[in-house]
């Protein structure tokens, strides 16, 4: 693996900012977008369970329907690709088994690998069930899934930055209205946050404002 340089990473992270105005005429090229989608899919999650679903919107008319539920933030329609990040509303045994089946498929394990008592996969399945379904995380399953979705959001924004793509994370949306417009109500997923991606407009004065971060000593303690 060929790492990037420290300078290149920091340059990208300093270049990025929460883009207020996107250039509506600039589209993310297909190959770059495919890369970002792949990056999103590769997000790490707790146990690997991926308790989320992403809606990628390029249709501007449909996006316009979301404007009123997004405090009229124009990024929703002006960006190239608008991603709605949704999280599982609860976790069931079926969710865990879907993932276990996928493990068996991808890693070419015996079909009954999770049924053999004491096997590694059976143990892993039991751990997941005892935690995110029947255990303490099961009680806050949607919130736990939301946290995983925020890992995806963080990953997505950083990946976009290193690829030279602008992004604006958006918590200022009305999730229940998004759910209604996007017909999510019976899917078992609910909107938690969104992210607009594309290219900054030259007129966006926010691009040149100095970043505001607390001092390192305010944010980090060393032991």
DSSP letter at 135? S
Give just the sign of the alpha carbon dihedral 160, 15, 13, 82.
negative
Residue 8 engages its own copies in binding (rule: CB under 8 A): yes
Residue 32 engages its own copies in binding (rule: CB under 8 A): yes
Do 142 and 69 touch, CB atoms closer than 8 A? no
Q: Site for its own copies (CB under 8 A): which residue of 73, 74, 92, 158?
A: 158
Q: Site for its own copies (CB under 8 A): which residue of 22, 99, 178, 199?
A: 99
Tokens of 185: 């109500």
Cα separation, 88 vs 93, whole angstroms:
13
Q: Between 24 and 142, whose beta carbon lies closer to its own copies?
A: 142
- Could you give the maximum distance between any two Cα atoms of the chain, in Å? 63
- Using CB under 8 A, which of the segments 20-28, 114-122, 141-149, 198-206 binds its own copies? 141-149
DSSP letter at 110? -
Residue with tokens 């290193």: 162
Residue 46 engages its own copies in binding (rule: CB under 8 A): yes
Q: Site for its own copies (CB under 8 A): which residue of 22, 23, 28, 53?
A: 53
Q: Between 18 and 94, whose beta carbon lies closer to its own copies?
A: 18
Tokens of 24: 């509506």
Instruction: Give the interface size with its own copies as a residue count (CB under 8 A).
Output: 77
User: Could you say which residues in the range 54-83 bind its own copies, by CB under 8 A?
Assistant: 54-59, 62
């Amino acid at each position: 693996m060929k790492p990037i340089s420290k300078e290149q990473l920091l340059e990208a992270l300093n270049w990025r900012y929460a883009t207020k105005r996107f250039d509506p005429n600039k589209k993310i090229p297909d190959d770059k977008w495919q890369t970002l989608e792949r990056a999103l899919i590769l997000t790490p999650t707790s146990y690997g369970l991926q308790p989320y679903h992403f809606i990628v919107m390029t249709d501007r008319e449909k996006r316009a329907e979301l404007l009123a539920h997004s405090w009229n933030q124009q990024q929703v329609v002006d960006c190239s690709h608008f991603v709605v990040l949704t999280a599982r509303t609860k976790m069931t045994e079926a969710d865990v088994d879907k993932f276990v089946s996928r493990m068996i498929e991808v890693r070419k394990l015996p079909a009954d690998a999770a049924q053999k008592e004491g096997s590694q996969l059976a143990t892993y399945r039991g751990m997941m069930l005892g935690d995110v379904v029947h255990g303490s995380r099961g009680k806050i399953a949607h919130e736990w899934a939301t946290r995983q979705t925020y890992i995806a959001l963080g990953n997505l924004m950083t990946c976009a930055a290193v690829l030279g793509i602008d992004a604006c994370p958006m918590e200022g949306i009305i999730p229940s209205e998004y759910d209604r417009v996007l017909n999510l109500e019976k899917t078992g997923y609910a909107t938690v946050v969104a992210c607009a991606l594309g290219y900054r407009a030259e007129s966006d004065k926010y691009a040149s404002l100095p970043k505001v971060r607390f001092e390192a000593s305010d944010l980090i303690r060393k032991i």
